[in-house]
Amino acid sequence: MAARRSLTALTGVVVLCLVVTACEDHALGTIELRTGRETVETLSDPSVDGCHRFREGVAHVNNRTLNDIILYTTPDCTEPRGGQSVYLTTGTSDDAVRSTGLWRSFSVVH
C-alpha cells in the first residue's frame, strides 16, 4: 500500500512539473483591450517572448495575466523620442493619455 501511495505522489509531482514547465513560455491569463467603452480584443496566454502588436490602437488595457507587461505607443515596442512606455503590473489597468497617444504594442516581463 505504501508503494502505491509513493507512486501516486511521484506521478502527481511529475505531472505538476510538466504543466509548470509547459506554461513558462506564456503569460497565463488574459489582456483585455478597449477603445472607448467597447472591448476590441481579448488576448489569452500571450507568449513571453518578443513584441506583441495590437490590431489597432487601444485606449484602455486590463492586464489579467500572471505577468507584468510594458505598453508602448509604437507598433514595435520601442520608445519614441521624448515618449515613454508604461509598466503595467498584474491585475491592473491603464488608460492611454491623449498627449501620448494610443497603445500600439506590448511586451511581457518575465
**pTM (2 decimals)?**
0.74
Domain ranges of the chain: 2-108
Q: Which residues contact 39 (CB under 8 A, 6 or more apart)?
A: 32, 33
In the chain (110 residues long), the average pLDDT of successive 10-residue segments reads 57 49 77 83 93 92 95 94 89 84 92
| Domain topology for 2-108 | Gamma-B Crystallin; domain 1 (2.60.20)
User: Which residue from 86, 62, 63 is spatially nearest to 73, judged by alpha carbons?
Assistant: 86
Q: Which residues contact 50 (CB under 8 A, 6 or more apart)?
A: 107
Spatial distance between the Cα atoms of 87 and 97, rounded to a whole number of angstroms: 14
Residue 35: what pLDDT?
A: 85
Report pLDDT for 14: 47
103-108 and 93-95 beta bridge pairing: unpaired
pLDDT at 18: 44
